Amino acid sequence: MLPVSRAVEQTADMEDIYMRIVVEKYHGLGNDYLVYDPNKNKLKLTPSNVQLMCNRNFGVGADGVLEGPILDGEQISMVVWNPDGSVAEKSGNGVRIFAKYLKDAGYVQKKDFTISSQGGEAAIHYLNEEGTRLKASMGKVSFWSDDVPVEGPRREIINETMVFGRIPYPVTCLSIGNPHCVILMDEISKDLVCRIGRYSESAKQFPEKINTQIMKVLDRTHIQTEVYERGAGYTLASGSGCCAAAAAAYRLGLTDPKMFVQMPGGTLELEIDGEGVVHMTGDVGYVGTIKLGSHFTEQLRALK
């Protein structure tokens, strides 16, 4: 039988293990996420506690939470949470970050594997031993209105005029597992995409809301974008947004199938193959491991 003091100490250790919440913070070109591993933590994520975790003043601060790995045999899945507590179908930066975490945590040793999310599968290929540079195949693009979705008769949304905030814009809409609205412009800026995005995100023609990119074509192999993400607002970079902008530029005949997409947070390499599948190559940065404090953990557990 254990001495009373040791038994109390062991009980305290078990309570600490149960109560402790540890998250890993990464970023993809300044688009930062917390990785929440349900295999190592005892907290059910909800919209309310995700909002608090992502809060940059009262929480840890992030552009979202990646929940996983959710393991089913050899299948590896994740859930992408936006900072407003909604769930996104897919995230390009998020899938690269999650792949880096899987390598760091010892879940995968292979160079090639697949990650599933609500928006479909992404094939991952590590380009270095550290897993800091990766190539992800993000899936096939569709411009059809019922795939995006966009209200109205079924059609491909290519260079169609739409009005946001009483101003008409030339819009190309597409899905790459999540919905995007790409607007070609001569000049782009943070202020401009925020001004448009506040209207376009919840515009009546988009029943599931939408991500908005304004795009400037520099030449056949270089474009620039600014992004306003559904459920997140302005971000320094968006992987799926880059894929959407590249696909739109190529479909409009303005670029070659291989290009560099420049964002305030950095640059991604994009390639669109003959089947319409978009392949994205970019870097991931590891920030650190964060053990949440007991009082903050209690706040999270109290939220429904």
Q: What is the pLDDT of residues 72-111, one digit of tens each?
A: 998 999 999 999 999 999 999 999 999 999 999 999 999 9
Is residue 78 within 8 Å of residue 69, measured between CB atoms?
Answer: yes
User: Any known ligand binding at 198?
Assistant: no
Q: Longest C-alpha distance within the chain, in Å?
A: 77
C-alpha span between 187 and 260 (Å, rounded): 18
Q: Which CATH class is domain 2-131+283-300?
A: alpha beta
User: Any known ligand binding at 239?
Assistant: yes
User: Any known ligand binding at 142?
Assistant: no
* Confidence at residue 271, expressed as pLDDT on a 0 to 100 scale: 98
User: Any known ligand binding at 175?
Assistant: no
Note the pLDDT tens digit of each residue in 243-293: 999 999 999 999 999 999 999 999 999 999 999 999 999 999 999 999 999
The structure tokens listed for 219 are: 């030449």
According to DSSP, the β-strands at 112-117 and 133-140 are: unpaired
Q: Which residues pair with 65 in a beta bridge?
A: 34, 81
C-alpha span between 190 and 65 (Å, rounded): 23
User: Any known ligand binding at 271?
Assistant: no
C-alpha span between 131 and 115 (Å, rounded): 15
User: Any known ligand binding at 57?
Assistant: no
Q: Of 145, 161, 141, which Cα lies nearest the Cα of 153?
A: 145
Domain range summary for the chain, segments of one domain joined by +:
2-131+283-300, 138-276
User: Any known ligand binding at 240?
Assistant: yes
C-alpha span between 242 and 176 (Å, rounded): 11
Q: Of 132, 126, 128, which Cα lies nearest the Cα of 113?
A: 126
Q: Of 283, 235, 240, 242, which Cα lies nearest the Cα of 262?
A: 242
pLDDT at 4 over 50: no
User: Any known ligand binding at 128?
Assistant: no
In CATH terms, the fold of domain 138-276 is Diaminopimelate Epimerase; Chain A, domain 1 (3.10.310)
Q: Which residues pair with 133 in a beta bridge?
A: 283
According to DSSP, the β-strands at 133-140 and 179-184 are: unpaired
Q: Hey, do 2-131+283-300 and 138-276 end up sharing a CATH topology, with the first three levels equal?
A: yes
